[in-house]
Chain A
Amino acid sequence: MASQDGGRGTESLRSVLHGAVDREQFDYDALVAGVHQRAGRIRRRRAVATGVAVAVLGPAAAAGAALVLPDILPGGDSTTIAPATRPDEAPTTAPADDDAVTADPTPPWQDGAPPLPEGGFEVNEDLPNAWEIPDPRPTGVAALDDLGMPQLAAAYPRTVPVMNLMVCDPGRTGGAEPEAGLSFDYFTDDPDDPVINLQVTGWEDSGAARDGLLDDDYLLCTWSPRPGEPQPWPGHEGDDDHLVFAPEGSDQVAAVVRQGDYLVAVTVQDTGAAEDIELAREIAGKTADNLEALDPVHGPDQG
């Protein structure tokens, strides 16, 4: 495409790329076989995820357990998490792969432990997280710092993937649920302050969970209202792992990042839509970056 740039450099670059590819001797049959192996693995993981969801929901429904959504409106009642029956078998978690070995343990957006409410995380002893999620909240984000410590911090698998924009009770029968979750709610009594919700949910198949958000056909929780097409995320155009939702008629926006086995969702409720989206993107992106560093098993993307 010398005409687009001109000069010998572009022709040289074309020569370098083609020469380098020609120099390699790829085993095409092995690669084709590898494609089918990986495709089979994706299908098996999806099947396992569906089976796990049924295994969790079945005993819970039989015991009359209800999924209670947190009420995080300023001045509202405190959050309650309904008791639920623990499944007979904890779901298996994806094994670490080579990426885990190379994970940098230093979170890029966290300088010290973020503040927690007195008493720390709320947990439900009957339904613990399948694995311990490190606290990935970013520090140094002015909007979060201004709100101080979160009003709620919960470590519980039955976490709404995108707070305030999804409903789970009733949800989609047989839909997939997280295996682990952290939830943080930030708000004050001042109605001029924003409300920020941060959810970190861990999944058997985070890719399927992400697709489930896009297609609204996979998860236990369903959108309410329907969010419409994802909004642009500058620098991540066409990247389904970085999503922004701004439902028409809602005063809330959400940014969702898939990172490793996780979905990170940040919902912001305020009055200035553009700033809300930017804030949601910043917190979600930084939280995901921190997760990748802090959780060497579930944080890195699988190869």
Chain B
Amino acid sequence: MRLFGRSAERHEVEAYVEGAMPRLVGLAYAMTGAREDAEDLVQDTLATVVTKWSRISGAENIDAYVRRTMVNTLISKKRRKWTTEVVSHELVTADTARPEGAGVAHRVTERDAVLELLRQLPDRQRAVMALRYYEDLPDAQIAAALDCSEQAVRSAAHNAMKTLRRLLPAREWQEVR
């Protein structure tokens, strides 16, 4: 793999990028709900990290810094695609009359419906949901990543769940497994 930065740092930063990539692209996917956006987000985030490695490497918790960078990148990019895509309530609830036990295809469809709804959440709410339910971070660490209070995290999570529950019928919500 090609190396960057001064020789004293390049092995360190390269090792970090390679080691963190699987986990971070997963987090990016949880934050974006779309493969291409996730790949874009994780690459932009880590590119920023690489160019600032001399400052970051001394941080007490590099992962926390990277998470915060990813959240900032997510929010600052204002990825228009997410906000301009319109997924109607009718679309995600249209086939509630399907017979139960429709198998794997049914479950995948329901998962996709939930992902579609996640994509409709505001950036910060989506980031909170990803950090809480994909990274399993406690609220204190989520608050650090978003540079806000734990109360603000709980509020964002509450509002996100309220939106999801309102838009997705209870039966489908519970069948999404």
Q: What string of 1s and 0s marks CB contacts (under 8 Å) between B63-89 and chain A?
A: 000001001100111101100100000
B77 & A301 in contact (Cβ 8 Å cutoff): yes
Q: Which residue of B lies closest to A15 (CB)?
A: B177
Would A42 and B47 be within 8 Å (CB), given that A12-B176, A13-B129, A26-B25 are in contact?
Answer: yes
**CA–CA, A235 and B17, complex, Å:** 30
Q: Which residues of B contact A249 (CB under 8 A)?
A: none
Residues of A within 8 A of B139 (CB): 4
Let me know if B146 is at the binding interface, CB within 8 A. Answer: yes
Q: Which of B1, B50, B148, B164 contacts A238 (CB 8 A)?
A: B148
Interface pair B148/A237, CB less than 8 Å apart: yes
Q: Verify if A35 is at the interface (C-beta below 8 Å from B).
A: yes
CB of B46 within 8 A of CB of A35, answer yes
Contact A28 B133 (CB under 8 A): no
Q: Is the interface of B mostly helix, strand, loop or mixed?
A: helix
Does A103 count as interface, using CB distance less than 8 angstroms? yes
Q: Is A96 an interface residue (CB 8 A)?
A: no
A40 on the B face (CB < 8 A): yes
List, in ascending order, chain B residues with CB within 8 A of A8's CB.
Answer: 173-174
| Chain B 39-52 near chain A by CB (<8 Å), digits 1 or 0 | 11011101110110
Min CB distance, B64 to chain A, in Å? 12
By beta carbon, the residue of chain A nearest B40 is: A303
Contact of A10 among B80, B133, B147 (CB under 8 A): B133
Residue pair B17, A13 in contact (C-beta under 8 Å): no
Is the CB–CB distance between B133 and A238 below 8 Å? Answer: no
Which residues of the partner chain A approach B46 to less than 8 Å between Cβ atoms? Answer: 35, 39
Q: A9 contacts B173, CB within 8 Å?
A: yes
* B106 contacts chain A at the CB level, 8 A cutoff: no
Q: How far is the CA of A31 from the CA of B134 in the complex (A)?
A: 20
Interface flag for A62 (CB, 8 Å): no
Which residues of A lie under 8 Å from residue B84 when comparing CB positions?
102, 104
- Cβ–Cβ contact B4 & A36, under 8 A: yes
**Cβ B47 vs Cβ A20 within 8 A:** no
Roughly how many angstroms separate A240 CA and B72 CA in the complex, as a whole number?
7
CA distance A29 to B17 in the complex (A): 10
B11 within 8 A of A: no
A20 adjacent to B148 (CB under 8 Å): no
Bound-state CA distance A8–B165 (Å) is 11
Q: B62 interface residue, CB < 8 Å from A?
A: no
Instruction: Please tell me which one of the listed residues B43, B75, B146 contacts residue A31 in the complex, with CB atoms under 8 A apart.
Output: B43
Contacts of A258 in B (CB 8 A): 76
Measured in the bound complex, the distance between the Cα atoms of B4 and A10 in whole Å is 41
Q: Mark A14-34, 1 if CB is under 8 A from B, else 0.
A: 111111110010101101111
Residues of A within 8 A of B43 (CB): 31, 34-35, 38
Binding site secondary structure of chain A? helix
The distance in angstroms between the C-alpha atoms of A94 and B39, with both chains bound, is 22
Residues of B within 8 Å of A103, CB to CB, are 80
Interface core residue of B43, B78, B124, B138 (most chain A CB under 10 Å) = B43
Residue of A nearest to B114 (CB): A16
Asked if B134 and A21 make an inter-chain contact with CB atoms under 8 angstroms apart, the answer reads yes
Query: Which residue from chain A places its CB closest to the CB of B175 in the assembled complex?
Result: A12
List 30 interface pairs A-B (beta carbons < 8 Å), by A numbering: A1-B133, A1-B136, A1-B138, A4-B157, A9-B164, A10-B161, A12-B174, A12-B176, A13-B161, A16-B176, A17-B129, A20-B115, A21-B30, A31-B21, A34-B39, A36-B50, A38-B43, A38-B47, A39-B51, A40-B4, A102-B80, A104-B84, A236-B75, A238-B68, A238-B72, A238-B148, A239-B72, A239-B75, A239-B76, A240-B76
Chain B positions near chain A (C-beta within 8 angstroms): 1-2, 4, 17-18, 21-22, 25-26, 29-30, 33, 35, 38-40, 42-44, 46-48, 50-51, 68, 71-72, 75-78, 80-81, 84, 111, 114-115, 124, 129-130, 132-134, 136, 138-139, 145-148, 152, 154, 157, 161, 164-165, 173-174, 176-177
